[in-house]
Structure 1
Amino acid sequence: MIIPPHTPDPEVLDLLVSVAELGSLGAAARRHGISQPAASMRISALERRLDLRLLDRGPTGSVLTDTGQTVVDLARPVLNAAAELMDAVAALRRAARPSLRVLASTTIADHRIPHWLTALRKIRPELAVVLDVANSRQVTAAVRAREAELGFVEGPQSPTGLGSKVLAADELVVVVAPEHPWATRRRALTPRELADTPLLWREKGSGTRDTVWETLELHATPAPPAAELGSAAAILTTARSGTAPAVISRLIVAHELRSGTLREVRLAEGFTLTRKFRAIWDRRTPPTGPAADLVELATRIEAARPHRR
């Protein structure tokens, strides 16, 4: 197919349709973000190209001629077809663009993934990453259901039945408000004391909760929670109020420890609270392409980070 000579530009046809819809050349010009004189010049150029008078121009404004209205009616399906064409092209671009869906636990999503994705963007700038956030148990369930190619979780053990790789160890600390008796205690805190104390706990399914619970169970059955809270932010706020001690990632509580709004409680020698950050995936589909790149970059970045001793 060869486009006939003098075929008008769709943009000027769209301007003419706007004149018909809005009733004036000035309103059409404003819709298209141009001045009224510029709009008038474009319509005049269209009239010369078509060799037709499309507007009646008068002292009170410009209105479409009967011929102009006929051209508008002919132009509408052309413009609709152009819009459909560009929508289809956009869909093709989206389909052709590589994408990666990732699920991550809250701590990893807030404090580690941004660094990993920045590095990934440098080697795969065309990649579209979709990141969803949930607790570790929910992330694990989603990966098992193959709702995501890759998951990042925290916890003491590797989820059964999934492929995984340890990326880093995350230190957990016991914190209290400055007014809490533990804030000034000189004797280090033992595992039994911590187990016997009602604490601020995350919800069931949290990697932090699972790690602390499994560690304390080695020494005693943990006391009933002082409160169960659905986010690290809620834990910090409640701990600052002096309600009870909390066990939380040093990554999350670093600012409060520096500012003094929370105090770290020293643990007895040999008593450590750490959890693992892991990448997890369905064993039937190990990471390849962008997913493999992300795991490798996360491993390198975490290995290069300074770790508190």
Structure 2
Amino acid sequence: MALNFHQLHIFFTVAEKGSFSAAAQALHMTQPAVTMQVQSLEDYFGTKLLQRSTKRIDLTEAGRALLPYAQRSLDLIRETDQAMSLFTSKLKGRLQLGASLTIGEYILPRLLGPFGLEYPHISISMKVMNTAQIIEDIMNNQLNFGLIEAPVSHADMQMDKVLSDELVLIVAPNHPLASQKQVTLADAVKHPFVVREQGSGTRLVMEDQLRKQDIDPNSLEIVMELGSTGAVKSAVEAGVGISIVSSSSIKHEVALGLIRVVPLSDVNFRRHFYSIHLKSALLPISAVTFLTFLRERDLKQWL
């Protein structure tokens, strides 16, 4: 019997999840199949790698020694997939992903067309949902990966920067700030705000930047909280309040003169978008190819 990557991947997942059942769910395998592969790996090395008990699984000394090599083998496979994704123009497969609201509604629709032209044999299925739902679906193996607007802390998740974005201040055309060439953030926050709901990526970035400027987010006069960027834009257009939104989401409204962007003189709301997936999972080559497309191409021509 020869050592193979599949067994190392299974061993790593069992060690990370702490149980055969959780590893089986993550790997889309039966529990007996996972157990058999680990036992085969133990037979190959001639030593126990996992100490089994009724409540938990612990690594033996040999298992602890093997774990970093298993991790490196996973990393090498991921690097190999990424390198080869540049040569996969005839790639076939299904791409399943989740995207948070701003990305799913305003960014990806402009990019999926060019990607589809370049990779016509990859079918795409995208769910637009909030970050918490994306993580839940990834954990339940309903999605391969997701694209989110703000970093999150999750022990099972791997996050990588894939895109950048800028938030801008928007006002109605007849708003007092609309005639200003630029304003300070301190002046802007004196006006009523329309904002996204708590927990949205856009709001998290906005509040974080406010704190960096020594402005308490709770001091804002928030007249309305809304569950989508489209609703926020409509409220601003109607003169309900001002807001800070992604520049990618307002091109249509600005072109029609429905809202105006007022530059902020003392702060730049730059942010990153992130891909997120299970640390223990190997993404399908279709997903690796799509993420490489986002990172390597000049996307400005489409955005």
> Which TM-score tier does this pair reach, normalised by the shorter chain?
0.5 to 0.7
| AA at the equivalent of 1:172 | L
Q: Aligned match of 1:287 in 279, 283, 303?
A: 283
Query: Which of 245, 248, 252 is 1:255 aligned to?
Result: 252
The aligned counterpart of 1:235 is 232
1:136–1:122 CA distance, 2 compared to 1 (3 A): same
Q: Which residue of 2 aligns with 1:273?
A: 269
Task: Give the number of the structure whose alpha-carbon radius of gyration is greater.
Answer: 1
Give, in angstroms, the shift of residue 209 of structure 1. Answer: 0.8
Distance 1:183 1:206 in 2: 26
Matched, 1:107 2:102: yes
Q: Partner letter of residue 201 of structure 1?
A: V
Q: Structure 1: where are the runs of 5+ without partners? A: 1-96
Partner of 2:215: 220
Give the conservation status (yes or no) of the 8 Å contact 1:138–1:205: no
Structure 2, unmatched stretches of 5+, are 1-91
Q: Percent identity among equivalent residues?
A: 25
8 Å contact kept, 1:104–1:133 = yes
- How many angstroms apart in 2 are the aligned matches of 1:133 and 1:159? 21
Q: Which amino acid aligns with 2:233?
A: L
TM-superposed CA distance for 1:112, in Å, is 2.8
Alpha-carbon displacement from aligned partner over 1:97-139 (angstroms, at most 9, x marks no partner): 8433210012222233234433543565443332110123432
User: Secondary structure of the equivalent of 1:112?
Assistant: helix
- Higher relative CO (Cα under 8 Å, sequence separation at least 6) belongs to 2
Could you tell me how far 1:304 is from its partner in structure 2? 4.5
Alignment pair present for 1:244 and 2:238: no
Root-mean-square deviation (Å): 2.5
The ranges of structure 1 where at least 4 consecutive aligned residues each deviate by more than 4 angstroms after the TM superposition are none
CA contact (8 A) 2:110 2:302 kept: no
Aligned to 1:172: 167
TM-superposed deviation, 1:260: 1.7
Q: Go from structure 1 to structure 2 and tell me whether the alpha carbon gap of 1:165 and 1:117 turns closer, same or farther (over 3 Å shift).
A: same
The question of whether the paired residues in 2 share the 8 Å contact of 1:165 and 1:278 is answered with: yes
Answering whether residue 129 of structure 2 is matched by residue 153 of structure 1, we say no
Does the 8 Å CA contact 2:111/2:302 hold for their aligned counterparts?
no
Per-residue CA deviation, residues 221-260 of structure 1 (Å, 9 max, x unaligned), is 1214210111111111110111110111111111222222
**Cα contact 1:196–1:220 (8 A) shared by 2:** no
1:202 aligns with 2:199: no
Partner in structure 1 of residue 82 of structure 2: none
Match for 1:277: what amino acid?
Answer: F
Residue number in structure 2 paired with 1:189: 183
Q: What residue in structure 2 maps to residue 53 of structure 1?
A: none
